[in-house]
């Protein structure tokens, strides 16, 4: 499935409610901003950003800890007061994001699509509307969660009414609407900003990054590269200084028995000493190979080969339907083609430290030769005979 098979077909009418909630924040000019409403908004932001990180993300999407069926429902309900769609929808789409992170099948990659699309646009694309129950079968078996997912706005509407009853119109506008809009963009920034700005400590086969500022805004979710390195961890701040209040609260809840079996990353992984899985190696290698100047290498190789006495034979081999990249390059020694040592040095300069660096380099060079070969064939086929 190609990149252009999925245009940014955002259905703007479906974002009407989203736009109206943003617009309603301006009503504070008429309702006024009270201390009570500000305190309510701050409390609701903290409470719900925890529910999103601990509930939607670490529990439902990644099963990073265990809990009772009652507390499971409570996590889902409180997370849905953020008005970020149903719990099953959220978790299913997030699982897909990890499976295809920063590839053409990722639902919200700022690397392959626009920043706006990754931040918010993808939510209003019709094909992303349904909940993929096959991707979330473990939780779809609970009827109460399916009900919540179907009536996704019930928790948020209930909370909105409660803020009005507690603090009047300022409570609704400032307490609910302001905090909800802040929640939306803090959460969405992990999909967008955390794949663009920050540090990559681990090789994960994507562009996930650790961003300390986003970690503050989201109570620990900003340690995104850590998370992609070990998705099942309930703790995303792997180092002692990596601020992760969501984990601290989960740890406290485990002390009173509300949650248990909190997963943490292996020590070898934290130290960067654990070998990578084949899937990550292949993704990292593909991205590394694609970052080489393929067109320039192919053009330089073509210029050299065309001056060879055996060019007629080589050209025929290149155009042959039986042509294969590895076989084509096997007996050809060109200075334009990066050697394995060249690719290894290139990888070392661009990737985080990993014991799987040589595996990535070998895989990347093979992929690089395939890309250069494909481009060479295209150039030969479009050139004069």
Q: Is-contact 323 317, C-beta < 8 A?
A: yes
Q: Which two tokens stand for residue 275?
A: 């070998």
Mean pLDDT of the chain: 91
Sign of CA dihedral 80, 83, 84, 89: positive
pLDDT at 147 over 90: yes
Instruction: Burial-class residue 368 by CB neighbours within 10 Å (0-12, 13-18, 19+).
Output: buried
Q: How confident is the model at residue 4 (pLDDT cuts 50, 70, 90)?
A: very low
Residues 6+ apart with CB under 8 A from 343: 288, 361, 364, 365, 368
SS3 at position 274? coil
User: Which of 313 and 85 is assigned the larger pLDDT?
Assistant: 85
Q: Which two tokens stand for residue 190?
A: 């992990």
**CA 258, CA 235: separation in Å to the nearest integer?**
17
pLDDT in tens, 46-88: 999 999 999 999 999 999 999 999 999 999 999 999 999 999 9
pLDDT in tens, 26-47: 999 999 999 999 999 999 999 9
Q: How confident is the model at residue 357 (pLDDT cuts 50, 70, 90)?
A: very high
Beta bridge partners of 223: 210
Task: Please tell me the least confidently modeled range out of 71-80, 141-150, 283-292.
Answer: 283-292
SS3 at position 355? coil
pLDDT at 277: 92
pLDDT at 3 over 60: no
Q: Going along the chain, which residue ranges are E strands? A: 66-67, 259-260
Give the domain ranges of the chain.
Answer: 3-270, 278-382
Measure the CA angle with vertex 265, ends 183 and 238; round to 5°: 55
SS3 at position 52? helix
Q: Which two tokens stand for residue 68?
A: 């009772």
Residues 6+ apart with CB under 8 A from 17: none
């Amino acid at each position: 499935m190609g990149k252009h098979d999925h245009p940014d077909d955002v259905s703007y009418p479906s974002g009407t409610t989203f736009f109206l909630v943003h617009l309603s924040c301006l009503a504070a000019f008429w309702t006024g901003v009270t201390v009570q409403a500000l305190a309510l908004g701050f409390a609701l932001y903290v409470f719900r950003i925890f529910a999103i990180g601990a509930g939607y993300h670490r529990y439902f999407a990644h099963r990073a800890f265990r809990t009772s069926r009652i507390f499971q429902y409570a996590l889902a309900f409180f997370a849905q007061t953020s008005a970020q769609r149903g719990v099953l929808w959220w978790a299913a789409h997030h699982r897909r994001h990890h499976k295809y992170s920063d590839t053409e099948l990722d639902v919200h990659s700022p690397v392959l699509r626009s920043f706006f699309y990754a931040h918010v646009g993808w939510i209003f694309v019709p094909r992303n509307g349904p909940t993929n129950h096959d991707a979330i079968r473990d939780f779809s078996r609970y009827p109460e969660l399916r009900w919540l997912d179907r009536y996704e706005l019930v928790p948020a509407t209930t909370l909105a009414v409660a803020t009005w009853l507690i603090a009047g119109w300022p409570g609704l506008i400032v307490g609910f609407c302001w905090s909800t809009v802040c929640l939306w963009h803090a959460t969405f920034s992990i999909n967008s900003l955390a794949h663009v700005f920050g540090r990559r400590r681990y090789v994960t086969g994507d562009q996930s990054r650790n961003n300390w500022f986003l970690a503050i805004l989201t109570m620990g979710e900003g340690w995104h590269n850590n998370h992609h390195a070990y998705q099942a961890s309930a703790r995303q701040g792997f180092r002692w200084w990596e601020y992760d209040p969501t984990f601290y609260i989960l740890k406290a809840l485990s002390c009173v028995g509300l949650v248990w079996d909190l997963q943490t990353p292996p020590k070898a992984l934290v130290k960067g000493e654990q070998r990578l899985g084949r899937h990550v190696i292949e993704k990292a290698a593909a991205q590394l190979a694609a970052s080489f100047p393929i067109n320039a290498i192919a053009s330089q190789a073509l210029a050299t080969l065309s001056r060879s006495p055996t060019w007629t034979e080589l050209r025929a081999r290149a155009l042959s339907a039986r042509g294969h990249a590895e076989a084509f390059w096997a007996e050809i020694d060109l200075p334009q083609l990066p050697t394995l040592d060249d690719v290894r040095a290139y990888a070392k300069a661009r990737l985080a430290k990993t014991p799987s660096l040589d595996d990535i380099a070998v895989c990347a060079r093979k992929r690089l030769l395939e890309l250069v070969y494909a481009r060479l064939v295209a150039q030969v086929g479009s050139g004069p005979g």
